[in-house]
Structure 1
Amino acid sequence: MASIYKRGKTWTANILVTVDGQRKRKTKSGFLTKTQANKWAISVEEQKNTGKLPYSKKLFKDEYWSWYTIFKEPHIDENTKSWYLATYRLICDNWSDMKMSDVSVKELQLLINQYAENHVKSSVTHIKNMIGAFCRYAVDEGMLAKDISRNIVVASKKQGSNRDSKFLEHDQFLKLIELANEQNDITSKMILTACYSGCRYSEIAALNANDFDFKNNTITVNKSWSLQEKAVKKPKTNTSNRIIDMPTSFMNIAKGWNMSGNYSFQSTTGYPMTDNACNKKLAWLLEKLGAKQIKMHGLRHTHASYLLANDVDIQYVSERLGHAGVDITMKVYAHLMKEKRFKEKDKTIRLLQNL
């Protein structure tokens, strides 16, 4: 609400605004008439409502870093931290002198477009989401007039790897299991466990002897290994806590493994074997088989694809993988769901034609 009053022979107008999270009065004097003062006040109100009024003179990069260190860093895992830090580096490299009052939808779109030149769409989306989370906080704290990330368009000229290239064909999968079983090194045992369980590397690395139930043929997943911190952490999500049913054939093999250390797959360092070591061994095995190259996480995709292709219920597969919901499973394996839909359509037509 504007306040307009006469001071001597001229008129003064002031209006309440929020700057750096604090309510202040913006004042201007020297108007010859009350009408002029009122017009100025209306103009400032308009700027407030359209986000054109400067809300903070602080640097965008400094406020982002402050927000990250206080509200995010203490509560997130290392993988998520890496995205916040990548976003901060991008801001520092391109907006080193950008003030909170100067950022706009246009400036952010240009930044996102630039990043998209050399990064796949999923990475661009991560960056946009990190900046968006900060912008919403800045709006709540009165540092920005509006969320400048809301209408940002995410695209990319760089193509990501094809979903089909992330998992093995069924015959390659079976041959890999056979060859891995013939090896006696720790990384091969981790690869074999990934094939049969569909677990993430971080989940396999955190396993210890108590997680293997040889009576009920199950593996309990209730923790995750952080490579960066060299420590056991909580699983990725609450639904990652699960008990996985395992085939007797695998459990009979695992019975013969030495799991006397703190971890089932412990190296000479006293820590689990690294994902890099696992990926190197997996590359060697796949090269020996003449199969396409995938990473350890690709075994998780292969495991799920194998089950879904053999008509295992998607709800069960989702629970087995520890997904937060079946919608995530359907999104990740949409290519298989599309193939299954065509098969189900053909089966439906055949049934109806026999009526």
Structure 2
Amino acid sequence: MANIYKRGKTWTARFTKRVTQWDPEKQATISTLKQKSKGGFKTKASARDYAIKMEATALSGVDVTQNPVFADYYKHWYETFKFPSIRQSTKNRYKINYKVIKQFFGLTKIKDITREQYQNFINNFAKNHAIVTVRKLNISIKACIQYAIDDGIMNRSFANQVSISGNSKLDRPVQYLNLSEIKELVQLCLNGLNPRYTSRYLILAAIYTGARLGELSALHWNDIDFDKNTIKISKSWNQDRQEMNKPKTESSNRIIPVNEKLLQVLRQLKYNHTNFVFGLSKTKYPPTSNAVNKTLRELLAKGNMQKKNFHFHSLRHSHVAYLLSEGVDIYAISKRLGHADISITLKTYAYLLDEFKNKQNDKIISSLSQL
């Protein structure tokens, strides 16, 4: 209920609410009195109007007594709900986001942020960041705000209907190999295969599956079905910390059909007698990302393929580029990559899709000409 009273020459509205909840430490139900006050109203009527709004908001399910600092709430949210199940690299990104939020909003309370203020925040961040980085930050904040709504702190999100932009100079076009370059790289790998050194095998696996390095490194022999010609992705390995994690997302759990040629090559690795498919004979663990990328750069140089900033993950892009050039449906590609939905694939590979659009337009015109 709300109480109106006068303090000096101004009026104050105070909303009082008693909350009963279970305390796991005391192992008992406790009752807590929560209050929210706002003063400085010049008239009793204006204080009463504010009190009525608070009571109406409370009836809608919002806890009007809570209004945490936005940056603090974001930090509490990701540490409580995200950190237990995400990789260190993702944790680092949340920490960076927190610093950005704190720097812009300071001690601003979460309920006091308007859509216009948030749009200004996004516009300011976009000046010095690529659009993909801006988009990831916005997605993260929207998820946090949804938790605030579910917690009863807010009844609507200030992050909805926000325009996302970015610094085009910082956008990096997707790097990939064309068909002849892929064939050249495959041949270079095959010519120098040695089961004791598994980097070339990982490169081949990436070309044929489009899987991430961590997903491939995590593979054990029971993840490969040599009868059905499939590879099961259900975990991710970080060799630098020698730590097994869950895949990047829930949708990353998938079964990838592969060809017999790749499986014949992978059979050679049983020579190492390791649990990991790509385990080195000496360490029994897969090679580090630095070692794999070093081998990749050496092979590209040997094939006279000038690819600046090309790295192992670029093989995933090359896999997609090849499938697109062969007319494979984007939905099927999305599932093969382990994306949560097709929109992620479309956004990630918009550059490639535009490149192949002309080819598809020619195909459409040719087909229509036959009518």
- TM-score with structure 2 setting the length: 0.75
Alpha-carbon shift at residue 173 of structure 1 (Å):
0.9
Q: CA RMSD in A?
A: 3.9
Whether the aligned pair in 2 keeps the contact of 1:56 and 1:144 (CA below 8 Å) is no
Number of aligned positions between the proteins = 341
Match of 2:233 among 198, 211, 221: 221
Alpha-carbon shift at residue 73 of structure 1 (Å):
1.6
Structure 2 residue runs without a partner (length 5+): 18-31, 58-63
Whether the aligned pair in 2 keeps the contact of 1:225 and 1:232 (CA below 8 Å) is yes
- Aligned equivalents of 1:232, 1:155: Cα separation in 2: 36
- Aligned equivalents of 1:179, 1:272: Cα separation in 2: 21
Whether the aligned pair in 2 keeps the contact of 1:117 and 1:158 (CA below 8 Å) is no
Structure 1 residue runs without a partner (length 5+): none
Match of 1:311 among 327, 344, 351: 327
Whether the aligned pair in 2 keeps the contact of 1:4 and 1:38 (CA below 8 Å) is no
Q: 2:302 aligned with 1:288, yes or no? A: yes
Alpha-carbon shift at residue 219 of structure 1 (Å):
2.5
What is the aligned partner in structure 2 of residue 343 from structure 1? 362
What is the aligned partner in structure 1 of residue 260 from structure 2? 248
- Aligned equivalents of 1:61, 1:27: Cα separation in 2: 22
Alpha-carbon shift at residue 29 of structure 1 (Å):
10
Residue pairs, 1:30-41, within 5 angstroms:
36-41=43-48
What is the aligned partner in structure 2 of residue 134 from structure 1? 144
1:182 partner amino acid: N
- Aligned equivalents of 2:338, 2:38: Cα separation in 1: 58
Residue pairs, 1:94-173, within 5 angstroms:
94-100=104-110, 103-141=113-151, 143=153, 147-163=157-173, 165-173=174-182
Aligned-partner SS, 2:164: coil
What is the aligned partner in structure 1 of residue 186 from structure 2? 177
- Aligned equivalents of 1:101, 1:310: Cα separation in 2: 51
2:297 partner amino acid: A
2:136 partner amino acid: H
1:242–1:340 Cα change, 3 Å: farther
Q: 2:292 aligned with 1:278, yes or no? A: yes
2:285 partner amino acid: Y
Alpha-carbon shift at residue 132 of structure 1 (Å):
2.9
What is the aligned partner in structure 1 of residue 15 from structure 2? 16
Aligned-partner SS, 2:255: strand
Aligned-partner SS, 2:264: helix
- Mean CA deviation greater in 138-147 or 275-284: 138-147
Aligned-pair identity in percent equals: 32
1:46-88 alpha-carbon deviations (Å, 9 max, x no partner): 69999xxx97675433332222222222233444323212111
- Aligned equivalents of 2:187, 2:283: Cα separation in 1: 28
- Aligned equivalents of 1:126, 1:347: Cα separation in 2: 40
- Aligned equivalents of 2:267, 2:134: Cα separation in 1: 45
Whether the aligned pair in 2 keeps the contact of 1:194 and 1:201 (CA below 8 Å) is yes
Q: 2:274 aligned with 1:264, yes or no? A: no
- Aligned equivalents of 2:254, 2:155: Cα separation in 1: 44
What is the aligned partner in structure 1 of residue 222 from structure 2? 210
- Aligned equivalents of 1:151, 1:276: Cα separation in 2: 41
What is the aligned partner in structure 1 of residue 313 from structure 2? 297
1:271–1:111 Cα change, 3 Å: farther
What is the aligned partner in structure 2 of residue 84 from structure 1? 94
- Aligned equivalents of 1:332, 1:101: Cα separation in 2: 33
Alpha-carbon shift at residue 342 of structure 1 (Å):
0.4
- TM-score with structure 1 setting the length: 0.78
Whether the aligned pair in 1 keeps the contact of 2:225 and 2:231 (CA below 8 Å) is yes
Aligned-partner SS, 1:166: coil
1:227–1:105 Cα change, 3 Å: farther
1:58–1:220 Cα change, 3 Å: closer
Aligned-partner SS, 1:156: coil
What is the aligned partner in structure 1 of residue 24 from structure 2? none
- Aligned equivalents of 2:263, 2:213: Cα separation in 1: 19
- Aligned equivalents of 2:91, 2:361: Cα separation in 1: 41
1:249 partner amino acid: K
1:97-155 alpha-carbon deviations (Å, 9 max, x no partner): 44556644454444433332321111112222223333343355465675332354322
1:271-308 alpha-carbon deviations (Å, 9 max, x no partner): 32222322222122212222224221211121122122
Alpha-carbon shift at residue 157 of structure 1 (Å):
2.1
Whether the aligned pair in 1 keeps the contact of 2:11 and 2:47 (CA below 8 Å) is no
1:217–1:229 Cα change, 3 Å: same
